[in-house]
Structure 1
């Protein structure tokens, strides 16, 4: 990332990985402005505290399952900045109950649809409504190429999960979460193809953050030998983002830049 002004939007920023992205981006570069979105900004005391004395943080209400919210924030960013350099979709749901289904008999249609809407449909609509702003970006994240045909103007990073890999699935279960992340990966791939056609290109990738100490993974911590802090995971993920080129668009990376099979 260069030292000039950069605009990053973190969707799902009230806690966990999203909140840590806000903290880290604000700390590491005084020229970066962060737009943090969440369903209820008033309920996030940590986000409110981060905003104190920090005029480079803008907090907006956005429920990723509501198109009007997404549209309203895109209008706000358009009026305020006129561009966007990085969009990170972080909001995620394991299951409305907080635990993944262990078998088919646990599957509920409404719960499945809500998980799919949050984890896959929402990020796709974010890409739809913020892509005009990303096309106005100037490549403040990732690696710019000397070849104009291989230069990007913005990046979309979707927080996926290794359990969303169809090839890697050897245990089954977690129907809603696995299906939603597999759908998100397909959306990422589709977006990479569409946004790779024009003169101005947007890099689109899926990212696996590792198993991180967050509310989403908390019910399963006892089975995880290497549980990451949010700080460590975000540091690793930003290294991946900073290393991205147009040729990486459409790929599914782990926190250590290993390419995962879809």
Structure 2
């Protein structure tokens, strides 16, 4: 498993020999708390499903929990381990209210996954294929979901992550993992297009990198990374799948399994990394 270190070189991640780590490198401690932001469907919902297959508690947030039918079904089967919390990433007051609600139940969060994202809205907006299609309205809409929301969630839940870091180690820190995309890479941009989406992910990458430096400078054992999940068969990518080779179009189940394998092996020396689904570094 490969990550990018601070100097831009690849480094080898090894399985950690800690009492709470199984041979596969997975944290099996029963008091682990994971939070998935954007959990009503797609990748977020699958993160919740797979995390519930492990010990520990899971917090699932979404804008409208009452309409999240599949999430509520999971709640019915995991009443004591799954907590569903209303959180609208477009409303800062809602984000802080969610953090307050979670802090009343949990003293710490070991893993924060920011998953929500927008690429297109049928009948409303689609990725811009030309400069003359860029509008203020779409820029603001995409940045609010893909960039502003995730970093404000990190801000609101940082105290709980820092609390987890107080009992963590360099080999097994608390982790913030923000879902980005390879199209957010400036160095890898060879096709152009998708102005708002690309730029929103690039901005998220920069915000995450900057946050990682602050946390490390303050000696907080909280690693922050950005993840490229690959092309996954979800509603977000549905209109754009026809040019994807079958072997490169992942099911949600496979995609999340791969991403959790990457997250499981994050150490403090990996903080600030931009990592693909297979653990290889993505050029900034």
Normalising by the smaller structure, the TM-score range is over 0.9
Q: Say whether 1:227 aligns with 2:243.
A: no
Find the counterpart in structure 2 of residue 249 from structure 1. 271
TM-score by length of 1: 0.93
Q: Say whether 1:162 aligns with 2:182.
A: yes
Range moving further from structure 2, 185-194 or 51-60:
51-60
SS at match of 1:94: coil
Q: Answer whether contact 2:166 2:221 (CA < 8 A) is retained.
A: no
User: For 2:229, which of 187, 209, 216 is the aligned residue?
Assistant: 209
Q: CA deviation at 1:105?
A: 1.1
User: For 2:258, which of 232, 236, 240 is the aligned residue?
Assistant: 236
Q: CA separation in 1, counterparts of 2:65 and 2:265?
A: 31
Stretches of structure 2 that go unaligned for 5 or more consecutive residues are: 1-26
SS at match of 1:52: helix
User: For 1:50, which of 67, 70, 74 is the aligned residue?
Assistant: 74
Following TM superposition, the consecutive aligned residue runs of length 4 or more in structure 1 with deviations greater than 3 angstroms are 95-98, 150-153
Q: CA separation in 1, counterparts of 2:173 and 2:259?
A: 19
Q: Answer whether contact 1:95 1:176 (CA < 8 A) is retained.
A: no
SS at match of 1:137: helix
Q: Say whether 1:111 aligns with 2:131.
A: no
| Distance verdict in 2 for CA 1:190–1:138, change over 3 Å | closer
Find the counterpart in structure 2 of residue 10 from structure 1. 36
Q: Say whether 1:195 aligns with 2:219.
A: no
Q: CA separation in 1, counterparts of 2:163 and 2:280?
A: 30
Q: CA separation in 1, counterparts of 2:257 and 2:82?
A: 19
Cα deviation digits, residues 188-218 of structure 1 (max 9, x gap)? 1001100101233210000000000110000
Q: CA separation in 1, counterparts of 2:278 and 2:125?
A: 27
Find the counterpart in structure 1 of residue 45 from structure 2. 19
Q: CA separation in 1, counterparts of 2:115 and 2:86?
A: 15
The alignment of Structure 1 onto Structure 2 pairs a total of residues equal to 253
TM-score by length of 2: 0.86
Q: CA separation in 2, counterparts of 1:100 and 1:212?
A: 17
Stretches of structure 1 that go unaligned for 5 or more consecutive residues are: none
Q: How big is the alpha-carbon RMSD for the aligned residues of Structure 1 and Structure 2?
A: 1.5
Find the counterpart in structure 1 of residue 101 from structure 2. 76
